[in-house]
Structure 1
Amino acid sequence: MTVEPVPADTRTRIVEVAARFLREEGPGAVTTRGVAQAAGVQAPAIYRLFGDKDGLLEAVAEHVMSSFVAHKASTVAAAAEADLDPVEELGDGWRRQIEFGLENPALFALLSDPRRVAGSPAARLGKDVLAARVRRVAAAGRLAVPEARAIGLIQSAGVGVITTILATPPAERDPGLADAVFEGLLAQILTDAPATAGSGHLTAAVAFRAVAPELEHLSDPERRLLVEWLDRIVSSPSAR
């Protein structure tokens, strides 16, 4: 017996209906029967496309996160083209990420599961967007720690802030918590002024590392060697 393929627009419709249920009523509302009925399909179509409810939730998380991350990527590109202040752009990205997590608690819970994040293309793209923002800060000579350290600190702080706020009753929430955490974070990762020749080895190396892959006057092997040297400097405890 030949199984007819499910049209792509049907898959999209199912995911969008499930995303609405997840956003408005939480994971418990995302049942195969309810989603199928609202999407105008038979329940077997959902099983054929997603396997089970967990598979459907994975698809929903990827769909919503992909849309959000794609928007973030476009803002990073626009900021670079307009030569906007990279520290201000990093702050804008932080605030949008916090708002997204607080407005989508069920989705945030799904995406906070390390097992889901590890295999999520959207999560990887989201980290790439953050890395691009951090690299702009580094290239401006404002980053006082290695890029990888800054990215890890920002991600950890963001997840912690969202988790803490969501776990606090609305009437007891501190409206300035996210901004206070971000200010403290900046104090850990930024220099007071752009790097100069006298700024210290680490700050100068971090700034140079950010632009080293783009040095067109060097060959590919030379750029790779330069990056390796700079990575060795910024990861050395003696440079801190």
Structure 2
Amino acid sequence: METRAAIIARAAELLAQSATGDISTRAVCEAAGITQPVLYRHFGDKDGLLAAVVDAVWDEYLTAKRAARPSEDPVEDLRAGWNAHTDFALAHPQAYRLVFGSALTTRPAAIAEAMALLEGITGRLAAQGRLRMAPSDAARVIMAANSGLALGLILRPEAYPDPAVSALARDAALASILVDAEAAADDAASVAATTLRAHLAGSSSFSPAEAALLDEWLRRIR
């Protein structure tokens, strides 16, 4: 195993065993059999090391997400994604806290990819006319709700004794972004604009300038 990978592996083990969600660079160096200058040469500083560890741990989760085949119903994909996200958080609480509950100066790349995968699903919903807001906004709503619930379960499990709370939070979050029959009738123009913008994103029928202008007009429909 190369030095960088060995350092990340030892640091991930220490992080998983940590009661506080923190590890010392000295402990990592001792576990990996290296000196601190070697660690800093590979990662720059402690935050760089932690970001690399988080990305390595999250890669397990993201690998499954990348390989997942979309179902015919993107709402079901969102439900499955929420459940998988929560299960991952509970299985890897310390690595999860570093992404959503810390102030690392070096940001892990994992969250950007997770958001992109989530936005791919909300984009499919928009294309089907089932989204009440832009796909990027819907993805942020879902991620904020899912990560907030997961952090609550990790940090204050005693406050959430009912395991059904995750499903309740999930369904409430989905209801906030999805179009129901009554809302579709009351706000048909906005829903139609969101749907058209989703189709415009993958269209080659317009020049870039035309697409940008049409997108701007559709954004104004509320």
TM-score range, shorter chain: 0.7 to 0.9
1:86-101 correspondence to structure 2 within 5 Å: 86-101=74-89
Which residue matches 1:159? 147
1:87 and 1:187 map into 2 onto residues whose CA distance is: 10
8 Å CA contact 2:52–2:108 kept in 1: the answer is no
Structure 1 residue 84 displacement after superposition: 2.4
Q: Number of residue pairs matched? A: 221
Corresponding letter in the other structure for 1:49: H
8 Å CA contact 1:19–1:60 kept in 2: the answer is yes
Which residue matches 2:6? 13
Structure whose alpha-carbon radius of gyration is higher? 1
Moved more, 26-35 or 8-17: 26-35
- Percent identical among aligned pairs is 34
User: Which among 205, 208, 215 is matched to residue 227 of structure 1?
Assistant: 215
Which residue matches 2:165? 177
CA 1:49–1:118 in 2, change beyond 3 Å: closer, same or farther?
Answer: closer
1:208 and 1:118 map into 2 onto residues whose CA distance is: 37
Structure 2: unaligned runs, 5 residues or longer: none
Which residue matches 1:4? none
- Check if 1:217 corresponds to 2:210: no
1:61 and 1:102 map into 2 onto residues whose CA distance is: 15
User: Which among 19, 23, 34 is matched to residue 30 of structure 1?
Assistant: 23
8 Å CA contact 1:23–1:107 kept in 2: the answer is yes
Structure 1: unaligned runs, 5 residues or longer: 1-7, 234-238
TM-score, normalization: structure 1?
Answer: 0.79
Which residue matches 1:68? 61
1:84 and 1:54 map into 2 onto residues whose CA distance is: 41
Which residue matches 2:128? 140
8 Å CA contact 1:111–1:117 kept in 2: the answer is no
8 Å CA contact 1:135–1:147 kept in 2: the answer is yes
8 Å CA contact 2:51–2:107 kept in 1: the answer is no
Structure 1 residue 115 displacement after superposition: 4.2
Equivalent position SS for 1:144: coil
Equivalent position SS for 2:131: coil
